[in-house]
Structure 1
Amino acid sequence: MHAAYITFRRQIHSVSIQLGVRAELGRFNADVQSFDSSGKLVALPISVNTKGLYPSLLLIKRLGDGHQVQLSYSRRVNRPTPRELNPFLDVSDPVNYDAGNPRLLPEDIHSVEFTYTYTRPKVSLTSGAYFTRVNNVIKHIQTAPVNDVTFTIAQNLPRAITTGLEFIGNLHPVKAWDFTVNVNLYQRINDADSAYGIGATHGLSWNANITNNFSLAQNLTLQLRADYKAADVIIQDRYRPVYGIDAGARYDFWHNKASLALNGRDIFNIRRPSFLRESDALLLNWQRITYSARASLTFTYHFGKSNIGTKVRKRPEVQQDTRIENG
């Protein structure tokens, strides 16, 4: 992977401008070896090359008195994983064989986002609208059954578009309690592809989460997080709602040089993702049932001084059409 970056920043009164471009030349080469019917060793070459310019733009306008608006655009590439390129069959499921596709193309992703932020000492509110277009969408497509066996193979579909509205609020009503609420409403549109028997789909969905932080006593804090994801339609699948609750506690001691943290994920064991895949030749009612509730205990001790990472700028989270599969 070879890349060169150029970034330009300029402050004009209350407007901040940042322009960037990344020139990239990437190459993934591999040989998949196997034996043919005569016992001869043969090799299948796999090559995925990426090259191009990936620009970005960020405009920030400060309106004064805690108000700010921001406009951003970025283009990026999402490459297939080695597993998605590997053509060898995974036959661990006797009724559904899984395989990669050595002819996959990388995803080409364009994102535009506009946000408004209002900040006060005890309140921070952010609302925004975003648009994401993904070309050459990588999805795992399940074929019609043959002799009671289906095949799930990674394929490139033409295009997926996601548009949405997002709201983030952080409030600190009292000294011992603050919470953050996130609500995301979006519309997903997937193009049809007759080559794989995929029809066009679209659907409106939403998700939300709330994170509460409590200061119970000196050096003792508690965090409680709940999340909910509504029903969604993704290519062949209709996903059912899923929700769960996480919790954690942390105690700092030895003049804040050490801490002991207890974290619990899905503490009520209720997160069970599931979907329905239905066509003229196939009916799949899938649910992941595992004991997902788990906890971890972590001890941390800080010693010495370090300035590493103090000026690292966080990248804003970008909405995108992520790959959600039944693996």
Structure 2
Amino acid sequence: IRGGFDYDFNKTTSITISGYYAPVYGGNYTDYTYKDYTGENVLMREIFRKEFEDEFDQNAEASLFFRKALNNKREWTIDGKWLLNTEYELSDIEQTNTADDERLYQSTLNDQRSESYYVQTDYVYPVNENLKFETGVKYSDRQILQKFELSDSSNGERVIISDFTDDLTFSEKIYAAYFITGYSKDKWNIQAGIRGERTELLTALKNKNEQYERVFNNPFPSVHIAYKWDSTTTYQLSYSRRISRPGLFNLSPFISFSDNRDYFSGNPNLNPEFTDALEASYLKNLNKGTLLASVYYRYRTNVIQRVTEVDSNAFTRRYPVNMAFQNIVGLESNLNYALFKGANLSLNLNFYYSTTKGSFEGQELYAEAVSFNGNMNYRMKIKKKWMFQANVFYRAPRNSLQGKMKYMGALDLGLNRKLLKNKLNITFNVRDVFNSRRWRFETDLPGFYADGYFQWQKRRYSISVVYQIAKSSTQERPKRRNNRQDFNGGDGMGF
């Protein structure tokens, strides 16, 4: 359910309010087969493990955008957003084997709530036609609460497994302020800015009686220089310092217990990653499109890597840690081209060389990789009311600190039909047509080797129906705010 409205108080003042709510009901079935062999490669037993899961999720969002145009092209805006995500999962697990009549019955409860909001205000002051200043402040708050419980009822009595039962509290508060100045004259365009940020993190596990507090104070400078060589050619040079914060999937210490031999979890004590990026670009305006080619260098610290621990039974545990720094040199190209009337092609290719170095439990780790990834999007208008879209994604293999990530590729298709004077839009999508979007990996450790894959979701079909009651004037406003994309938690100053 999605809705919103705009209201113009007058020619210079307007407000936009929007929101949506999406409940999700579902179920999952997972089964595993383990084969145990002796040292002489003789099969001892087969173990069958099945999981039946019921799930109820909720996603909600509300946003507000206020704009006030002042004299001399000055502008003041207020932007706020609230987001809510809840997950409630109940699983029943049954395990049997061919060696005896022993049966294992387990249950898991995962009750998770993630709530966040931010509010920011920005002021733009054009001094003259060549010089412009911009400044703003922002506050954001993210709270995660999770209750995870594992119980065993194999002996007829329900017993809580304390090692996999706890209540997690995660709190992240960010205070930020920025200043940008832009100068353009003749063929030159120069923009520079800095954002100061204070981050306060709190992690607590109730049953283990553990609590960790961390505070970061960081500056994020950014400079962008562009020179217009002629009417079709522009050269660009930029530097920025960026931050990337871990998401909920990497933070949650309890994700699933469906596979008790290969346990996958997050880490609530993760810290943000930092990147210093230097880039030189060539922009060419073609007759039917644009070409952007860039060479870049990135230095990353606090890099999050997923590590694998192996116990005496060869059971594994995989979880992320801040353990490395990384150097990346690459060449990236973006092509947008109109093949013919109604048909557009977008192509992105990224070739790079990287070195990653880190240490884990006293062991020095190093990985060197030469790889590439690419994405192609094709859109074609069929007659006047139909639109066809295809998207192809490919990521080549690359070395990691404890093995290798194999290739991954996928194809998505979509078809759109407009009705009732373009007010009604019906869209049919097929995501991952060949069911190939899988994370394939190799783990190569002393005395241990594993080859596997993980698939988050199988091929999916969806139909959406959207009816536009009135044309919204908000479509142009998000472009204005995207200039500060980093200020909403991310990369550089967004020039």
Q: Indicate the TM-score class for this superposition, using the shorter chain for normalisation.
A: 0.7 to 0.9
Are positions 1:96 and 2:262 aligned together?
Answer: yes
In the alignment, which of 304, 310, 314 is matched to residue 470 of structure 2?
A: 304
Change (3 A) 1:306 1:103: closer
CA spacing shift, 1:196–1:142, aligned 2, 3 Å:
farther
Match of 1:323 in 2: none
1-structure distance, mates of 2:374, 2:246:
29
> Are the structure 2 counterparts of residues 85 and 275 from structure 1 closer, same or farther at C-alpha, using a change threshold of 3 Å?
closer
Tell me the residue number matched to 2:353.
Answer: 187
Q: Encode CA deviations 1:302-327: one digit per residue, 9 max, x unaligned.
A: 23243324142446999xxxxxxxxx
- Higher mean C-alpha displacement, 222-231 vs 139-148: 139-148
**1:148 partner SS:** coil
SS of the counterpart of 1:310?
helix
Contact 1:144 1:281 in 2 (8 A): no
- Deviation string 1:220-278 (CA, Å, 9 cap, x unpaired) is 11112222221111222312222221111111222222211111111122333311111
Q: Which runs of 4+ in 1 moved over 6 A?
A: none
User: What corresponds to 2:215 in structure 1?
Assistant: 49
**Residue 340 (structure 2) pairs with residue 174 (structure 1):** yes
Q: How many residues align?
A: 311
TM-score by length of 1: 0.85
Shift of 1:118: 0.8
Question: Post-superposition shift, 1:83?
Answer: 6.1
User: Could you say which residue in structure 2 is the equivalent of 1:63?
Assistant: 229
State the distance in 2 between where 1:143 and 1:264 align.
Answer: 37
Q: 1:284 aligns with which of 435, 450, 460?
A: 450
* Equivalent runs, 1:136-175 vs 2, <5 Å: 136-175=302-341
Of the candidates 5, 28, 31, which is equivalent to residue 204 of structure 2?
A: 31
Q: In the alignment, is the contact (CA less than 8 A) between 2:302 and 2:325 conserved in 1?
A: yes
What stretches of structure 2 of length at least 5 have no aligned partner? 1-173, 487-495
* 8 Å CA contact 1:198, 1:235 repeated in 2: no
User: 2:463 & 2:210 partners in 1: Cα distance?
Assistant: 47
1:198·1:236 contact (CA, 8 Å) conserved in 2?
Answer: no
Q: Aligned partners of 2:445 and 2:293: how far apart in 1?
A: 39
Please tell me whether Structure 1 or Structure 2 has the larger radius of gyration of its CA atoms: 2
AA partner of residue 464 (structure 2):
T
2:65 corresponds in structure 1 to none
Which residue does the alignment assign to 2:491?
A: none
8 A contact 2:305–2:321 mirrored in 1: yes
Question: Is 1:215 the equivalent of 2:384?
Answer: no
1:228 and 2:394 matched: yes
Does residue 17 in structure 1 map to residue 190 in structure 2?
yes
- 1:243 alignment partner in structure 2: 409
Q: Does the CA contact (< 8 Å) of 2:277 and 2:299 recur in 1?
A: yes
CA contact (8 A) 1:192 1:201 kept: no
Q: Label 1:86 to 1:208 Cα distance change in 2 as closer, same or farther (>3 A).
A: closer
**Which residue in the other structure is 1:324 paired with?**
none
Q: Distance in 2 between matches of 1:19 and 1:5?
A: 11
Q: Is the 8 A contact 1:145 1:282 kept in 2?
A: no
- Counterpart pick for 1:4 among 177, 201, 204: 177
Q: Structure 1 residues 253, 92: CA separation in 2 closer, same or farther (over 3 Å shift)? A: closer
Q: Judge conservation of contact 2:240–2:277 (CA < 8 Å) in 1.
A: yes
Inter-partner Cα distance in structure 1 for 2:337 and 2:216? 44
TM-score with structure 2 setting the length: 0.58
After superposition, the Cα gap between the structure-2 partners of 1:211 and 1:102, relative to the gap in structure 1 and judged at 3 Å, is closer
Aligned match for 1:79, one of 245, 250, 264: 245
User: Would you tell me which structure has more strand in proportion to its own residues?
Assistant: 2
Change (3 A) 1:82 1:224: closer
Q: CA deviation at 1:111?
A: 1.4
Q: Distance in 2 between matches of 1:69 and 1:251?
A: 40
Q: Once the 2 structures are TM-superposed, how far is the Cα of residue 183 of structure 1 from its aligned partner?
A: 1.3
CA spacing shift, 1:48–1:102, aligned 2, 3 Å = farther
Deviation at 1:112, TM superposition (A): 1.6
Q: Distance in 1 between matches of 2:248 and 2:432?
A: 31
Q: Which deviates more, 283-292 or 106-115?
A: 283-292
1:67 and 1:88 mapped to 2: Cα distance? 52
Could you tell me which residue of structure 2 aligns to residue 260 of structure 1? 426
Once residues 82 and 272 of structure 1 are traced to their aligned partners in structure 2, the CA distance between those partners, rounded to angstroms, is 20
Q: Deviation digits for residues 178-212 of structure 1, max 9, x if unmatched? A: 21222111112101426453421111001222221
Higher relative contact order (CA 8 A, sep 6+): 1
